[in-house]
């Protein structure tokens, strides 16, 4: 049943200026530059440069002289002006020769296409140089099209036989596909066309020069791959009847192979990411100095021309066109002022937040020692600078700080805490650093288990459980003890 009533309620809404500030806070330096360029293109009332009231203005006499010279030039150009150059002899109007099928809301977007030679194109070019009959070449080319981005043939040959029969009306046997696959596996880079990691590594080992290490590596991959993957080295030495030196040579050969041959060309063309620090915290004579990157503090101003225009249009408000022009200019001027204020607020918020982080982690910025990092969460900084936690999160997002000891992501300084035996709160990052150092210094023939690492940390005063040690080890991307074993 529908009813009408009068209700009162409190509701908080962000103004457009607040939304604009929130968006500007979370963008890094490179994106901020693009955002400013975009705003300058869209708003003619916004300009780059300092707002100087004492700018030199052109004198009235000079302006009159410039206008006279310009008028004389137009008179001279008008003598050579021919209207026939601007009219076509064709009487057909232009609108009859154009077509537009898109709706009013649709945007005309062009999709750029990347050029260059793909991995499959390179394989097909090599395939065309090999001697084989037309049917085998067709099957081999079809197999190349089924390779994934790593260069593997993940699909079963029976499924490919069915595809050829149903999609291309080509009937073939599995043995024919195997023969064509041998041709593909003979192409470069070595290992392409393997159906799994074992076959991929085997293809590469078989192309190596014959030696004891090559023979042992081939036999180990061919017959004892599971034991090799689990690092059961004693079992492999017993079955192959080899000594430790021969096994070391074979392992050294295998670890230098490429497990993803298809990504070789793509990785070389992969663009590198450029990191531009937003802050610089430098330790000079035991004192910390904080500075904001100049790209985060651009000089912007409201156009003087637009300010003069609004004075001119304000004199005549009765004309409708004058009022509309005045409203447009006011809108652009307000937008420019809001944007400049948002940039200034962004600079102030960034500096205040980074200063609080610097004071909280002063020991680290002075020494560069990760064990000096204190536990710190977003709430700690938010309470110190009297801002909302979401604002601190936006500031820490994708921002970098340059120090005497390297460039760090701001999120690096945030970590949880735990209590040691002395009752002091320490950062989990400190515990991870000690754990990482202990694993790096361990005996590789007999690496520490998680239980041994737990006992080692307890001996240093960090009372944590074994499952917590396992969690920290996984966060550091360190495998279990069995997989860290080396000869």
Q: Which CATH number is 428's domain given? A: 1.10.10.60
289-336: pLDDT as tens digits: 988 887 766 778 887 887 777 777 666 666 677 777 778 878 888 888
Rg, the chain, Cα only: 35
391-448: pLDDT as tens digits: 888 888 888 899 988 888 888 888 877 776 666 667 787 788 888 888 888 887 788 8
Omega within 30 of 0 (cis) for the link into 189: yes
Kindly state whether residues 444 and 405 are assigned to the same domain.
no
Pair type for strands 279-284 and 425-427: unpaired
Residue 204: pLDDT band (50, 70, 90) is very high
**Residue 250 forms part of a structural domain:** yes
**Residue 35 forms part of a structural domain:** no
Structural domain count, the chain: 3
Kindly state whether residues 140 and 200 are assigned to the same domain.
yes
d(CA 94, CA 381): 64
**Residue ending a domain, choose from 413, 443, 476:** 413
Kindly state whether residues 238 and 363 are assigned to the same domain.
no
Kindly state whether residues 215 and 331 are assigned to the same domain.
no
Pair type for strands 406-409 and 425-427: unpaired
Dihedral sign for Cα 128, 132, 138, 141, please: negative
**Nearest in space to 222 (alpha carbons), one of 202, 205, 195:** 202
Kindly state whether residues 245 and 295 are assigned to the same domain.
no
Does the pLDDT at position 30 exceed 90? no
108-112, 162-166, 434-438, 479-483: lowest mean pLDDT where? Answer: 108-112
> What pTM was computed for the model?
0.56
Long-range contacts of 479-483 (CB under 8 A, 24+ apart): 480/450, 481/447, 481/448, 481/449, 481/450, 482/230, 482/231, 483/231
**Residue ending a domain, choose from 413, 438, 460:** 413
Residue 81: pLDDT band (50, 70, 90) is very low
**Residue ending a domain, choose from 413, 437, 467:** 413
Please give the average per-residue pLDDT across 256-266, as a whole number.
79
Please give the average per-residue pLDDT across 348-354, as a whole number.
90
Contacts of 437 (CB under 8 A, 6+ apart): none
136-183: pLDDT as tens digits: 999 999 999 899 888 899 989 889 989 888 888 888 888 988 999 999
Kindly state whether residues 260 and 134 are assigned to the same domain.
yes
Kindly state whether residues 153 and 254 are assigned to the same domain.
yes
Please give the average per-residue pLDDT across 63-77, as a whole number.
52
Q: How far is CA 173 from the centre of its chain?
A: 46
Helix (H) or strand (E) holding 282, with range, is strand 279-284
Residue 60: pLDDT band (50, 70, 90) is very low
Residue 3: pLDDT band (50, 70, 90) is confident
Kindly state whether residues 334 and 364 are assigned to the same domain.
yes
What 3-state DSSP class applies to 91?
coil
Average per-residue pLDDT for the chain: 79
Kindly state whether residues 433 and 475 are assigned to the same domain.
yes
Kindly state whether residues 179 and 202 are assigned to the same domain.
yes
What 3-state DSSP class applies to 47?
strand
Kindly state whether residues 374 and 425 are assigned to the same domain.
no
90-99, 129-138, 345-354, 414-423: lowest mean pLDDT where? Answer: 90-99
> What CA–CA distances, in Å, run from 1 to 4, 5, 6?
10, 13, 17
Where in the sequence is the domain holding 331, given as residue range(s)? 279-413
**Residue 32 forms part of a structural domain:** no
**Residue 42 forms part of a structural domain:** no
Kindly state whether residues 201 and 320 are assigned to the same domain.
no
Contacts of 49 (CB under 8 A, 6+ apart): 299, 300, 301
> What CA–CA distances, in Å, run from 316 to 313, 324, 332?
6, 11, 19
**Residue 315 forms part of a structural domain:** yes
């Amino acid at each position: 049943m529908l009813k009408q009533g009068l209700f009162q309620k409190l509701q908080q809404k962000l103004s457009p200026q607040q939304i604009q500030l929130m968006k500007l806070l979370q963008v890094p330096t490179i994106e901020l530059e693009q955002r400013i360029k975009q705003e300058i293109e869209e708003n003619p009332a916004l300009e780059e440069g300092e707002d100087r009231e004492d700018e030199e203005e052109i004198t009235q006499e000079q302006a009159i002289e410039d206008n006279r010279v310009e008028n004389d030039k137009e008179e001279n150009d008008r003598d050579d002006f021919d209207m026939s150059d601007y009219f076509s002899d064709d009487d057909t109007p232009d609108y009859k020769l154009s077509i537009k099928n898109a709706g009013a809301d649709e945007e005309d977007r062009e999709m750029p296409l990347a050029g260059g030679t793909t991995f499959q194109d390179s394989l097909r070019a090599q395939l065309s140089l090999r001697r084989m009959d037309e049917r085998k070449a067709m099957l081999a080319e079809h197999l190349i099209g089924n390779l994934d981005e790593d260069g593997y043939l993940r699909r079963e040959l029976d499924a490919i036989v069915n595809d050829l029969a149903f999609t291309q009306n080509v009937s073939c046997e599995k043995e024919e596909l195997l023969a064509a696959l041998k041709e593909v596996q003979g192409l470069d880079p070595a290992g392409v066309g393997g159906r799994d990691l074992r076959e991929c590594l085997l293809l590469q080992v078989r192309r190596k020069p014959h030696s004891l290490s090559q023979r042992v590596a081939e036999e180990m991959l061919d017959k004892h791959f599971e034991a090799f993957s689990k690092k059961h080295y004693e079992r492999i030495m017993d079955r192959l009847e080899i000594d430790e030196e021969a096994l070391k040579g074979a392992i050294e050969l295998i670890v230098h192979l490429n497990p993803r041959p298809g990504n070789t060309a793509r990785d070389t063309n992969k663009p590198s990411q450029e990191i531009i620090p937003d802050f610089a915290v430098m330790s000079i004579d035991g004192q910390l100095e904080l500075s904001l990157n100049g790209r985060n503090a651009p000089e912007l101003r409201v156009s003087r021309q637009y300010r003069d225009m609004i004075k001119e249009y304000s004199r005549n408000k009765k004309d409708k066109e004058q009022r509309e022009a005045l409203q447009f200019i006011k809108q652009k001027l307000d937008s420019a002022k809001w944007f400049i204020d948002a940039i200034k607020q962004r600079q102030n918020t960034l500096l205040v937040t980074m200063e609080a982080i610097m004071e909280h982690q002063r020991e680290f910025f002075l020494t560069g020692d990760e064990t000096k990092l204190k536990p710190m969460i977003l709430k700690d900084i938010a309470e110190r600078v009297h801002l909302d936690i979401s604002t601190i999160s936006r500031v820490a997002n994708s921002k970098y700080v340059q120090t005497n000891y390297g460039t760090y992501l701001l999120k690096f300084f945030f970590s949880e805490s735990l209590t040691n035996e002395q009752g002091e709160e320490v950062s989990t990052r400190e515990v991870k650093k000690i754990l990482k150092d202990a694993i790096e210094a361990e005996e590789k023939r007999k690496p520490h288990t998680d239980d041994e690492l737990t006992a080692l940390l307890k001996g240093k005063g960090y009372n944590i459980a074994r499952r917590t040690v396992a969690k920290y080890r996984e966060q550091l991307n360190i495998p279990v003890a069995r997989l860290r074993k080396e000869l």
